[in-house]
Amino acid sequence: MEDTGIRSVGATMPGHLIRRLHQLSTSVFTQRVREAGFDLTPVQFIALDALQQNPGIDQARLAEAIAKDRATVGAVTDRLVQKKLVKRVVSPRDKRARELTLTGAGRATLDALMPVVTELQAEILPGLTPEEYAQFIALAAKAARAAGPGDAG
Amino acid sequence: MEDTGIRSVGATMPGHLIRRLHQLSTSVFTQRVREAGFDLTPVQFIALDALQQNPGIDQARLAEAIAKDRATVGAVTDRLVQKKLVKRVVSPRDKRARELTLTGAGRATLDALMPVVTELQAEILPGLTPEEYAQFIALAAKAARAAGPGDAG
DNA sequence: AGAATTTAGTATGTACAGATACCAATTCCG
DNA sequence: CGGAATTGGTATCTGTACATACTAAATTCT
């Protein structure tokens, strides 16, 4: 790669840095998961994880757990149902709600992917020492916690 | 908000934390900018900033500067041209390329927004002390630099 | 010069992500 | 109990974001 003289932008802007890390994280995840023989996005994975930890919750509850809005979760759920990783049934207690559970395939996918995802996490923040990595996680978690669960809507 | 017993997910996963911060950052930016009387997304702002620093570059060069792919930059540029913040002309040297420059309105928008954006940055990482904030920026910048400019495409 | 490769931009398709609006079902409250 | 407010889900719209594939133009290599 030759030097084009183009200066990259936003090197000290937190928003831009976070956006960069976000796309890096997504691309590493998608690539490694595909190499493992699966076709699953980060959000789909997080949703499966949330459903394993909270079986039978409805879409609004899932949205809360993974910090997305209802419309997004509806679309993500559509894809997971279509891939037969999640079962969606109308709640007998509340006809508006749809209760979500992992299918056998969903559980199997999550089990197979968990070690892959654990291993890929270091790649998401390349060039950091283990101490720096831990520090970054701690700071990010603190900021995310301070932001609260309901801020993004 | 009452406790529903739903556990949130991914509290130690860097990818999920980064995704959370990304949405927080976007929502803070959009809200503050709208309050200032403008209708501009974070990516559109970064693009304007890049064009001010590198007037006359083409879309591929802009994509490189802001770390997006050509297709995305094409769409973003469409909107900036439509808003009359950017002028797009076919390069006389290379008939494939389109040279981009800020219009007067583009420069004015950038000037008006710069202090707003500077001020809003602290809000993107709430609950961090100034030292922690600086630390986070340093770590994020280090990781982004290690990732390299061409990794996400 | 001519063929092969690379590069710029666009088109299309998929997938988040939030805003808004809407319907249906439920809960709240008088 | 019955009207009002809330809640769950969907539909639509805008805007990233990337993959792939395609055209046209430029560059490279023989």
**Shortest-distance nucleotide from B22 CA to C1':** C17
> Which whole-number Å values give the CA distances from A129 to A102, B139, B142, in the listed order?
37, 10, 11
Please give the backbone phi and psi of residue B107, each rounded to the nearest 5 degrees, phi first: -65, -45
A52 touches chain B (CB under 8 A): no
Give the per-residue pLDDT at A4: 60
Cβ-based contacts of A54 with chain B (< 8 Å): 6-7
Sequence-distant (≥ 6) Cβ neighbours of residue B147 within 8 angstroms: A20, A21, A24, A126, A127
Structure confidence by residue, pLDDT tens digits, A87-116:
999 999 999 999 999 999 999 999 999 999
Residue A57 CA to residue A70 CA, distance in Å, equals: 13
- Retrieve residue B144's tokens: 């982004």
Q: What angle do CA A137, A59, A44 make, to 5 degrees?
A: 50
Looking at the predicted structure, is the pLDDT value of residue A153 above 80?
no
Under an 8 A CB cutoff, do A16 and B46 touch? yes
Residue B139 CA to residue B2 CA, distance in Å, equals: 36
Look at residue A100 and give its three-state secondary structure: strand
Which domains are delineated in chain B?
A: 14-117 (1.10.10.10)
Q: Which of A1, A117, A139 sits opposite B128 (nearest CB)?
A: A139
> Which whole-number Å values give the CA distances from B101 to A11, B47, B74, B104, B121, in the listed order?
21, 11, 14, 10, 26
Closest CA of chain A from B130, distance in Å: 12
> Which whole-number Å values give the CA distances from B30 to A123, B23, B27, B58, B98, in the listed order?
30, 11, 5, 26, 28
Looking at the predicted structure, is the pLDDT value of residue A152 above 70?
no
Structure confidence by residue, pLDDT tens digits, B54-100:
999 999 999 999 999 999 999 999 999 999 999 999 999 999 999 99
Structure confidence by residue, pLDDT tens digits, B13-45:
899 999 999 999 999 999 999 999 999 999 999
